[in-house]
Amino acid sequence: MDKLEYKINEVAFNIAQILDKNEINKLLGVLANDGVYAMWVYALDKIKIEDKKDRIGLLINQILNFSDAFPILKENQEEIERKNEKIKGLLEKEKLNDEGKIELKNKIKERNKIILEIFKELSKDIDNLLFFKEILERVLILARYHAKALGDD
């Protein structure tokens, strides 16, 4: 994977734009103590839509920047991006009717299920899992520094 350090820095900066410092710290804590899969379960539970922004979608889009190094990400990238676009389109509507709300909820569930399956699959290869965890730790540490520098206290 070319320019890994550059991608780590870029993704960290972008994550600092999506999450606040407290959320970044909590993700880092769960990752360090309980692992990659637990971090994503936690993220899916705690990181909510704000101001019509699907922050989980934005976060996973950043993680997909590492798809060159992890085939499981690459295999699911297009499907996740399609689901994220559909979710974004639904969120951008002025007002969702009941049918639209159900569709939004279902699209989020479908996307989140794919995300969890990716991390289950990733955990089958210990070398890939440890490398991915190391990258995520580095990204979240740098994101925390970016958030602090941006004044997100």
| Amino acid code (one letter) for 33 | N
Q: Where are the domains of the chain?
A: 1-152
Q: Is the dihedral of CA 42, 144, 21, 94 positive or negative?
A: negative
Q: Which pLDDT tens digits describe the chain residue by residue (153 residues)? A: 568 999 999 999 999 999 999 999 999 999 999 999 999 999 999 998 887 889 999 999 999 999 998 999 999 999 999 999 999 999 988 788 888 889 999 999 999 999 999 999 999 999 999 999 999 999 999 999 999 998 855
| Matching residue, tokens 């699911």 | 76
**The pTM is what?**
0.88
What is the token pair recorded at 79?
């499907």
∠ at Cα 73 (70, 79), nearest 5°? 160
